[in-house]
Amino acid sequence: MIQGVITRISGPVVQAKDIEGIKIRDLVVVGDLGLLGEVIEVKGNEVSIQVYEETDGLTVGQPVKSGGMPFLVELGPGLLGTTYDGIQRPLEVIRDQTGNFIQRGATASPLVREKKWGFNATAKKGDSVSFGDIIGWVQESPTIKHYIMVPQGVSGKIAKINSGDYTIDQPVGSLEDDTELKMSQKWPIRRPRPSKRKIPTNIPLVSGQRIFDVFFPLPKGGNAIIPGPFGSGKTVMQQSLAKWSDADVVVYVGCGERGNEMTEVLTEFPHLEDPRTGAPLMNRTVLVANTSNMPVAARETSIYTGITLAEYYRDMGYDVAMMADSTSRWAEALREISGRLEEMPGEEGYPPYLASRIAEFYERSGRVICLGGKIPGSDKSENERIGSVTVIGAVSPPGGDFSEPVTQNSLRIAGAFWGLDARLAYSRHFPAINWLTSYSLYLDTLKDWYNAELTEEFMQMRTELMEILQREDELNKIVQLVGKDSLSDPDKLLLDIARTVRDDFLRQSAFHEIEAYCPPKKSYYMMKAILLFYKNCQSRLGKIPYDQILTQPGWEKISSMRYFPNDKFEAPCQELLKEMAAGGELAAVAA
Amino acid sequence: MAAKELYAKAHRKIKDIKGPLVFLEPIADVKFGERVVIVDSNGREKGGQVLDVGEKAIVVQVFEGSDGLDRKGTSVFFTGDIVKIGLSEDMLGRVFDGSGAPRDGLGEVYPEVERPIGGSPLNPVCRQQPKEWIETGVTSIDMLFTLIKGQKLPIWGGAGLPLNAVTMQIAKQVIRQSGEELVVIFAGMGITSREYNYFYKEFQDSGALASSVLFLNLADDATIERILTPRLALTTAEYFAYDKGRDVLVILTDMLNYANALREISSAREEIPGRRGYPGYLYTDLSTIYERAGIIKGQKGSVTQVPICTMPNDDITHPVIDLTGYITEGQILLSRSLDRAGFFPPIDVLPSLSRLMNLGIGREKTREDHRQIADQLYAFYAQGKELEKLTAIIGSEGLGNVEKKIVEFTQRFEDEFLGQGDQSRTIEESLGLSWDLVKDIPRSELRRLEDKHIEKYMPKRAGAAK
């Protein structure tokens, strides 16, 4: 333990001197109150510390202590279903200690130390193991097997290992050099957890949201940003993704956002079912909640805490999705601390290293071949132990202006851009994703999957719908000048069809029990119905007055397709398509 | 304030005085955030707080402003304590100034408890999800952006718009609805004496004063005091909510003045400014105010906030407005064009929003069709406003039949739905009116409505089936 004294206190930044051997990023305990902090600058004999808690009441001359280690998160069984703050304090335990309001200096172990977990050994005596190898597993939740992996820096032959009930502090075995094997390990949050190598991302993260699954898909291991002004639905979007995406594990980081929104997640997730497993969503979720009024330094940390937890489950071979809401708050925390350090500011007062920090963070996403041997009991080889971390970052640009530094720097990195639009939000078109400005750079790599799973027609229909919307935009500019009546009939029809695409396909309620999740196959039928209808109408053009063109079988039913039950939509969809096809022929005959 | 002789440390070594800040030679054991009492050479007392402690200097911010302070005759007393407020139920019906001293000449309040005004962050796992709606009697609010108990829902409008009148309309109606149950905490920061007289009269006339506590920092009071005012109000609100189990409505006006006071301190400290000179930590600072709205699990009371903020130059991207919008759960905007056209309340519904609305409406709360009909009104009104622009260019002859219906809808929507005047409407009346507005629009356009609701709630059209 090394020690020094406080020389200055200015908000969340505290200066101290005479700490022999302190390193940058070391964790320190500040003052008599025992506040946690992190060294962010070393200047001669003085260091600057970002303190994770309010610094009221500290005085010059109080001690600063350090164990000479960086901030570490604890990894092991018991993470799932827990709610942490930005520095991995379990908030339920903190509540039991200090009541409804978080008091400073509160400490609690991230994992429950007393609980005994049923450990199933898969490695045997005499096995040679090293970093990343799986030695056994614990059934952490009904759906997730928590694989116990050898921590970094440990390798050798197993001398002893036994299945049984253990706490995370009891050794489950040992190596020949007497190193104990335990179920928990620690990791410094700012260092990415290593893997063998990154591999292409060619499987989509199916989210059940039509605008994403069809128009702007995101692969497992990819990254996306959702920028938008307030009120455009970023948080609802993030929550929908956390609820419905087909990840194995979800890490949801509420970074500097509203308390009531975290409460919404905390209240709803235990009651919502994972559409694939039927288990409560909370069983696959870890929450990191550092709301806007919680200390700013811990907000900066919360993003790293979240991604480290995500990487840990990835290393077991799971697909993990991490939602960060919002990365702008994290960037602002960087700015605030940089300001207190009196650093030379870059763009809009943000520190000049903002771009590299954002890049480093998003680059921790990816699909990887995990370190270590194969997953026990799996018929896949060691090189097929594949996991992924998908990162979806919300961005809150001031005034909804996408030219600001956080949006622009994120855009340089992110593979998918889901731009939210205030105008769509004002007319209550949700999700308010602007289909003309958004993009996904992953379409090419995902094409094979779509072709295989949903026929080649799928991507083709997507292109047709996109063309309709694109053309609508152009026509609307003309309509603004001359009015709709002066358009030709085919153009009028295109506008009407485009409206159907927007209202009946792109719009999707996050709150309707059936609508909230739409299987890709259902999207397929919906696209097919709209395009078939379009074709039927086109065939009637010029044969009957325009007013009557849209009144044909199926027109009013297209809008109800969204409410077809998700477990049996195939039959009614096919019936509708049949009806429409027949109607189209009839119409042609009648004409 | 208690006798200053009792304070442990007196200090006379003032180095510099700049704006609201006093820089002192360092002494031992001064705490960050500590409350100080400053006594000038004439014996006048001012309150202050320690902003920065270092080996080279101590920085103190003076709440009442640094006027009349000098280097020689001024003493600074360190109280060893952080800024606190004494709380008691006797505060009801009383008026205090911006730093918590009685303003109504009725003497000190004997405190039951003392609390630090900074407040601690509420543990997210202890929050109760809000689920009860509050009837404001204003159709647009109740129907389209319902106020929910435990919510923070600000009202914004440019200079000259009736922000105060709208606020009072809501407050009076909410108080009337609740009987005597609701406590209103009113914090005025930098408001003019005209505004003060208006609010005071409204509170008195409506009989609401008896269940209210007013904290008032007027426009000519010390600017820096405004940093304290909302925190005093919220600490009082939390006392009534969580100690006494009451539902509390907090009105904070005007948050722009608050932010400007913060900017003043920041620039005196020579901090690196963010947008428009506001400090980089404005978001964090505002959140420590707004996030104090809410409900605690297993407790009776609630804190609902309605912060009011003038929107400079009608600019919704102004930093104070923008950052507020990122913290609060929605916003209510006033519209200049509606105001000019004589509508009251002139609420601009398209950009207005209540994020928590869905939690408090629907079956057994308002009515099952509430969400869908609200969405439908929004969609038509948005479309209608676009069509109005179009009509201005091409004339109404260029519109189709359906489009004409929607333009008609838009006019009725503004005349009847928005322009309700002073009267208050029940939710049933508002819902009825909503359905009446859409009854002439063809079914194929009613895309947000489900058949079952149409059958049940749509008023029968005169003479026609379909």
Domain-embedded: residue A111: no
**Residue that finishes a domain, picked among A153, A183, A213:** A183
Q: Are B120 and A102 inside 8 Å of each other by CB?
A: yes
Both tokens assigned to B353: 């929003």
CATH number, domain of A145, equals: 2.40.50.100
- What are the chain A neighbours of B125 within 8 Å (beta carbons)? 83, 91-92, 95, 266, 289
Domain-embedded: residue A448: no
Same domain, residue pair A64 and A126: no
Same domain, residue pair A424 and A532: no
Sequence-separated (6 or more) residues with CB below 8 Å from residue B197 = none
Amino acid identity, position A449: W
Same domain, residue pair A177 and A322: no
- What are the chain B neighbours of A550 within 8 Å (beta carbons)? 444
Residue B31 clears pLDDT 80, i.e. is over it:
yes
CATH number, domain of A357, equals: 3.40.50.300
Domain-embedded: residue A104: no
- The b/e string for A68-78 (b: 16+ C-beta within 10 A; e otherwise) is eebbebebbbb
Return mean pLDDT, chain B.
89
Over residues A523-550, the mean pLDDT reads 88
Percent of chain B with pLDDT over 90: 55
Do the beta carbons of residue B248 and residue B213 sit within 8 Å?
no
Q: How far is Cα A137 from Cα A388, in angstroms, rounded to an integer?
A: 19
Question: A212: domain range?
Answer: 197-373+382-440
Over residues B94-110, the mean pLDDT reads 91
Q: What is the pLDDT of residues A516-530, one digit of tens each?
A: 899 999 999 999 999
Binned at pLDDT 50, 70 and 90, residue B237 comes out as: very high
B123 touches chain A (CB under 8 A): yes
- What are the chain A neighbours of B122 within 8 Å (beta carbons)? 100-102, 259, 293
Count of the separate structural domains present in chain A: 4
Sequence-separated (6 or more) residues with CB below 8 Å from residue B207 = none
Binned at pLDDT 50, 70 and 90, residue A547 comes out as: confident
pLDDT at B2: 42
> Nearest CA of chain B to the CA of A482: how many Å?
6
What is the three-class DSSP state of B56? coil
Q: In what order do the strands lie in the sheet with A117-121?
A: A145-149, A134-139, A117-121, A164-166
**Which of A332, A422, A511 shows the shortest C-beta gap to B283?**
A332
Domain-embedded: residue A287: yes
Return mean pLDDT, chain A.
90
Phi/psi for A561 (5° steps) reads: -60, -35
Same domain, residue pair A179 and A210: no
**Residue that finishes a domain, picked among A183, A209, A236:** A183
Same domain, residue pair A397 and A487: no
Same domain, residue pair A389 and A496: no
Mutate to test the interface with A, among B51, B81, B283, B352 (most CBs of A within 10 A): B283
Same domain, residue pair A409 and A260: yes
Same domain, residue pair A205 and A321: yes
CATH number, domain of A60, equals: 2.40.30.20
Q: CA end-to-end span of chain B, whole Å? A: 76
Residue B335 clears pLDDT 70, i.e. is over it:
yes
The ipTM, to two decimals, is: 0.83
CATH number, domain of A464, equals: 1.10.1140.10
- What are the chain B neighbours of A428 within 8 Å (beta carbons)? 375, 378-379, 382, 448
**Which of A99, A289, A349 shows the shortest C-beta gap to B124?**
A289
Do the beta carbons of residue B225 and residue B64 sit within 8 Å?
yes
Do the beta carbons of residue A56 and residue B82 sit within 8 Å?
yes
pLDDT at B7: 55
pLDDT at B462: 52
pLDDT at A428: 81
Do the beta carbons of residue A309 and residue B248 sit within 8 Å?
no
Which run of H or E residues covers position A94? helix A91-98
Q: Are B32 and A427 inside 8 Å of each other by CB?
A: no
B393 touches chain A (CB under 8 A): yes
Same domain, residue pair A401 and A513: no
Q: How far is Cα B183 from Cα A150, in angstroms, rounded to an integer?
A: 59
For chain B, domains (ranges, CATH) are 3-81 (2.40.10.170), 85-360 (3.40.50.12240), 370-457 (no CATH)
Domain-embedded: residue A452: no
Same domain, residue pair A307 and A334: yes
Same domain, residue pair A173 and A316: no
Domain-embedded: residue A292: yes
Do the beta carbons of residue B329 and residue B355 sit within 8 Å?
yes
Q: How far is Cα A511 from Cα B108, in angstroms, rounded to an integer?
A: 51
Domain-embedded: residue A220: yes
**Residue that finishes a domain, picked among A152, A183, A214:** A183
Domain-embedded: residue A405: yes
Same domain, residue pair A342 and A431: yes
Phi/psi for B134 (5° steps) reads: -115, 125
Q: Are B317 and A100 inside 8 Å of each other by CB?
A: no
